[in-house]
Chains A and B, each alone.
Chain A
Amino acid sequence: MGLLAFFRRSQPTANVAKERLRIIVAQERTARGGPDYLPTLRRELMEVIRKYINVDPEAVQINLEKEDGHEVLEFSVALPEKGKA
């Protein structure tokens, strides 16, 4: 740690906190409102994907959205950058 960083007592981390919360709260709300199998589904999907691609659990998002009358289960995987997988 540089001397300057040492004397600067604390870092502006509020925006990091907010972003992390935005994601985790959305994810937990989905799990809460949705069917009980969601966490298991997420785990099992992750296992399948990881047979082929080396992704971080963080890269796998499940979203349950209500769209006029019907529900949409949205599933997204952020692929690792080339060369890093």
Chain B
Amino acid sequence: MTEIIVVTSGKGGVGKTTTSASVACGLARRGKRVAVIDFDIGLRNLDLIMGCERRVVYDFVNVIQGDCTLKQALIKDKRLETLFVLAASQTRDKDALSMEGVRKVFDELIADGFEYIICDSPAGIEKGAHLAMYYADRAIVVVNPEVSSVRDSDRILGLLSSKTQRAEKGEEKVKEHLLLTRYSPRRVATGEMMSVGDVKEILGLDVIGVIPESPDVLSASNAGTPVILNEQSDVSRAYEDAVGRLLGDTLPLRFLEEPKKGFLARMFGG
């Protein structure tokens, strides 16, 4: 069985690629065979976050156009045995991806025994985002606790329930999950930021994870190591929980409150 999961948001820059990389790693760490695919044609970035940018020879569009085999284009992760990355093309031709092309690649991945296909969607609600979600069984809707992000994600929910294969064929609907990221418990406590409860209430979605705002995300992308692999970080623990929930675990949400600082940390602002 292969499950196709799209990581999407509508609004740009909210944390889709960060989430795709960490969720893919989290699943692979549990021994699952995972392919994570960058759908952001023209703006390849997943390779950098995964730390495999110098190993990209062929990309998604090359496979679709028959320039190479899928095997040649899949980049095997150096840390996790069962994890593979398919890079986006840097072409400026947005039409290089087609519905049939995507289907062909998915079918090959399925035949090859991949258990999860993670689709890192581009921002927006145009063709790229549509293609990334079209074949999905599940969607992780990445949201920041901020008005424009919440509104855009609701538009994405509208597309998920009308413009996907499942919707068109009248099959069981795409399972939708809310992943709230860049969450700042301190600002929620002071009433400056909407809480997870607020966002959940507005969108009416089940929450698969709440990821705290943290400088660890930048260090991780600097290093090309998905942040979930930094075990010292609360962000890693929060993503691990989200992956657990994706696999059906019931886990309480963590990191919703400001960490209590010790005396020294308070003195020196650590």
> A residues engaging B (CB < 8 A)?
10-15, 17-18, 20-22, 24-25, 28-29, 32
The 6 A-B pairs at the shortest CB distance, nearest first, are namely: A12-B191, A18-B198, A32-B158, A14-B194, A10-B192, A21-B202
How far is A31 from B145 in the complex, measured between Cα atoms in Å? 24
What secondary structure prevails in chain B residues at the interface with A? helix
Chain B proximity of A34: nearest CB distance (Å): 12
Residues of A within 8 A of B198 (CB): 14, 17-18
Chain B residues near A22 (CB-CB < 8 A): 201-202
Q: Give the residue of A14, A25, A32 whose beta carbon is less than 8 angstroms from that of B191.
A: A14
Instruction: Flag if A28 contacts B155 (CB, 8 Å).
Output: yes
Total residues of chain B contacting the partner, CB 8 A: 20
Q: List 20 A-B contacts (CB under 8 A).
A: A10-B187, A10-B192, A13-B192, A14-B145, A14-B191, A17-B147, A17-B194, A18-B202, A20-B147, A21-B147, A22-B201, A22-B202, A24-B151, A25-B150, A25-B151, A25-B154, A28-B151, A28-B155, A28-B158, A32-B158
Cβ-based interface call for B220 (8 A): no
Question: Which residues on A sit within 8 Å (CB–CB) of B193?
Answer: 14
